[in-house]
Amino acid sequence: MIPVHDVHVRSTVPLVAPRLLKLEEEVGDVALKTVVSARETVKRILTGDDERLMVIVGPCSIHDHTAALEYARKLKQLADVVADKIFVVMRVYFEKPRTTVGWKGLINDPHLNDTFDIGTGLRIARRILLEIVSMELPTATELLEPITPQYIDDLVGIAAIGARTTESPTHRQMSSGLSMPVGFKNGTDGNLQVAIDAMHAARHPHSFLGIDADGKTCIVNTNGNPWGFLVVRGGRTGPNYDAASLAEAAEMLKKAKLSPRLVVDCSHANSNKDYTKQSICWNDCIRQRVEGNKNIIGLMLESNVEPGNQPLPADPSQLKYGVSITDGCIGWEETEQLLRDAYVQLGGTLPE
């Protein structure tokens, strides 16, 4: 008989149910309070009730548990210093959409060797998130696979939908049911309308196929998520963080009857894919903010323990510690300096 089913499927591997994975480690009161407080703070920033600048900063992707926690400890200390002017959230990204092929992130391939031990990847991701929020440091992560939120959503303060998936109906529907604010990036070509359309779509109720807490296939019925926001990240024609581009973005949002407040991603096309130029975008946006552009409510930085990036070798033990294996990142020293300088420009006073 000619096969007509699973013709190109090599195998299927069952996963632990989300409910059971969440029961493996208790989420303490501190962690829970951190997540709830972060979500409410972001909402107040989006409405203008909290006038602090939101900064989402951290590695392009997490691949090393130890380095991620070292970075988190450093960031937590700095976040406390600047807290009256800047609300700091750590980028804790585990899923990486690829233009063609490449390492897809810690959840997909935690051992960095194409063994695709996703069950272990989910456990490690959850453990990292739990440890970070237990430090009272909020987290943000990109959600790529629509099943992933069931495993980690209770530890995430902000969700991100990337430039490659903002136009996806699946991700718009998923966002309509997420429990936290969601940032939608403009398309890779620089198109803002796809992100604005995504914000509109996610605000409405949807019904779609998904899984429940027991891992069973089900119909997911959502209420809609009103807490979407635009993230501008540049496009194929270049950066879009200049004053004229941001004014145009704000007008497009207002025309769509959405809040004109937005977040600027200082990496990707806004730095022409050169991590050393993130500071140019950062400093320009801080200047605009100081000069009165309150539509800039947040900035994103790709930052790691050490600057730069490195290819993933055949032997992962040869990796340099604290260096990104995806996009290039600025190092901790530059990160700290940028945040401290911005804090002072925003009216803060650094301790002696």
State pLDDT tens for residues 263-287.
999 999 999 999 999 999 999 999 9
Look up the CATH number of the domain holding residue 177. Answer: 3.20.20.70
Letter for the amino acid at 280? I
**Angle at the Cα of 192 (from 189 to 197), degrees rounded to 5?**
120
pLDDT bin (cut points 50, 70, 90) of residue 1 is confident
The predicted model gives 13-29 an average pLDDT of 96
- State yes or no: pLDDT of 99 exceeds 80: no
Q: Is residue 330 part of a domain?
A: no
Q: What are the tens digits of pLDDT across the range 196-212?
A: 999 999 999 999 999 99
CA–CA distance, 126 with 221 (Å, rounded to integer): 25
Q: Is residue 329 part of a domain?
A: no
CA–CA distance, 110 with 114 (Å, rounded to integer): 9
Q: Tokens for 303?
A: 């930052």
Q: What are the tens digits of pLDDT across the range 45-78?
A: 999 999 999 999 999 999 999 999 999 999 999 9
pTM of the full predicted structure? Answer: 0.97
Q: Is residue 120 part of a domain?
A: yes
Q: Tokens for 109?
A: 């391939």
Query: Cα separations (Å) of 170 from 153, 173, 175?
Result: 17, 5, 9
Percent of the chain past pLDDT 70, that is, above it, reads 99
- State yes or no: pLDDT of 98 exceeds 80: no
Residue predicted with more confidence, 102 or 90: 90
Q: Is residue 8 part of a domain?
A: no
pLDDT bin (cut points 50, 70, 90) of residue 111 is very high
Q: Is residue 226 part of a domain?
A: yes
The parent domain of residue 257 ranges over 18-323
Q: Which residue has the tokens 């600048």?
A: 53
- State yes or no: pLDDT of 100 exceeds 70: no
Q: Is residue 312 part of a domain?
A: yes
| Total number of domains constituting the chain | 1
Q: Is residue 331 part of a domain?
A: no
- Which pLDDT score, from 0 to 100, does residue 2 have? 87
Residue pair 233/268 in contact (Cβ under 8 Å)? The answer is yes
Q: Is residue 257 part of a domain?
A: yes
DSSP state of 89: E
